[in-house]
Amino acid sequence: MRFATWNVNSIRTRVDRVIAFLERSGTDVLAMQEIKCRPDQFPIAPFEAAGYQVAIHGLNQWNGVAVASRLPIVETQDHFLTQPAFGEPPVIEARALGVTVDTTEALPARDQQASSMTIWSLYVPNGREVTHAHYAYKLEWLANLAEQGRSWLADPAAQIALVGDWNVAPLDEDVWDVDAFEGATHVSAPEREAFAAFAADGWVEVTRERVTNYTYWDYQKLRFPKNEGMRIDFAYCSPALAARVSAAHIDRDERKGKGASDHVPVIVDVN
């Protein structure tokens, strides 16, 4: 089977491109971020026409996450326990959606451990500036997710993927010029430590060793033609699921052409 993650930067603007990607790539489950709409505004009909169910979590025109699946969706969670709130009054933003799918249609029925898989579509807070309250919120958000993740890994057979826009460039090579980011978010030591904590807990980032490319290019300053990008979209898998991963891809071409998102899909194949 094949799953993917993609910050679509407004699903209503890019629904045609998303459907075309699904049909072209043969993706079974797509985790989307920054859908920027409420569930009643989400363009469900084109997904259903293409054979996909959709789970949606959006509160307004900001943030928002969704999962489209052509495998049966059996459970959804619109936040993780201890997910922190932000703002005044504090609100638990639409930044995490966990969807459990029945994989028996895609994987051998004899493999009981693979009867279901949970994919979390994650849109980690940006942080804005290292002195901003949003930066402290970002670190708390990642720390609380890691805490929840440790409880999920207590089951050695767990089939879980934490995928999405992490808004962290873990290594210097993940930005076109690390000196240009001096003093900025995404590359600061606390953010990188928060990201690395997942690997220390046992999660396996399954794309790094299989594919090299950026996943995001800003719309400004001709960043894409100059290939001045960032690698901030990742897939952390539980060990049992990581053992099944056979390939990973970054669809760089999806950044080309009219109406492209500033992110591209990150694709993972599972045996």
**Active site members:** 123, 165, 263
**Cβ partners under 8 Å of residue 35, min gap 6:** 8, 10, 11, 42, 56, 58, 64, 65, 66
- Whole-angstrom CA distances from 177 to 62, 131, 221 are 29, 22, 14
Please indicate if the annotation marks 165 as binding a ligand: yes
Distance CA 193, CA 155 (A): 25
Residue 217's CB: how many other CB atoms inside 10 A? 24
Q: Residue 34, annotated ligand binder?
A: yes
Q: Is the separation of the CB atoms in 68 and 22 below 8 Å?
A: yes
63 marked as part of a ligand binding site: no
Residue 79 annotated as binding site: no
**How far is CA 236 from its chain centroid?**
9
Whether residue 167 is annotated as binding a ligand: the answer is: yes
Cis omega (within 30 of 0) on the bond before 125?
no
Q: Which residue ranges make up the annotated binding site?
A: 7, 34, 165, 167, 262-263
Binding residues for Mg(2+): 7, 34, 165, 167, 262-263
